[in-house]
Amino acid sequence: MIASLFWIADPAGTLRVAPGAGAGGQADEDAIRDVIVRRRLAWNARDAGAYGQLLTEDADIVSATGRSAEGKESILRLLAEQHAGPYRGVTITNTDVTKIKFVRADAAIADADFRLDGMKAADGSPLPPLCGVLSFVLCKREGRWLISSIRGMPNEPFPVTAAGTGCSGH
């Protein structure tokens, strides 16, 4: 995809990017934060349809479990598998965006702290919360921000043990 910028000359003849031609405005930041919130809500609701609407067709993911998937349909299959397995009964209770970096007018990287609550060990005993960072690559297509890539990076190895420290150091 080719991004284009429009240049204008100010009264002194200096070329500047035309207003609105660049990226990183508050409206784009708000839209990106909204996508990340809607992803959390869809994940918690186990709503594959709503989750899928937030992804590009060629999206990819590396989950906090270390499992990966390429393409929207593969991601949705992985989501269903993980909700039936290691994430059964688990809730994402936090995805606070900590940084947004615009690399082009239509592409951004966003980092968010995450917290998963409700995890259980193989014997059913409760585990401490799992915390870490999610890194998103988002693309603006036809005026909408969509998730192109997700990387889940837990603070501790997944799965944490009952003796783990959960969100310590986070």
What string of DSSP letters covers 71-112? Answer: SHHHHHHHHHHHHHTTTTT-EEEEEEEEEEEEEETTEEEEEE
Percent of the chain with pLDDT over 70: 79
Q: What is the domain range of residue 52?
A: 23-154
Residue 169 counted as domain residue: no
Residue 111 counted as domain residue: yes
Question: Computed from CA positions of residues 114, 116, 121, 127, in that sequence, does the dihedral angle turn out positive or negative?
Answer: positive
Domain total in the chain: 1
Please write the tens of the pLDDT for every residue from 7-66.
444 556 554 444 444 567 999 999 999 999 999 999 999 999 999 999 999 999 999 989
Say if residues 144 and 127 touch (Cβ distance below 8 Å).
Answer: no
CATH number of the domain enclosing 62: 3.10.450.50
Say if residues 159 and 136 touch (Cβ distance below 8 Å).
Answer: no
10 Å Cβ neighbour count for 74? 14
Is residue 6's pLDDT more than 60?
A: no
Quote the tokens at residue 109.
């990287």
Is residue 4's pLDDT more than 80?
A: no
Residue 137 counted as domain residue: yes
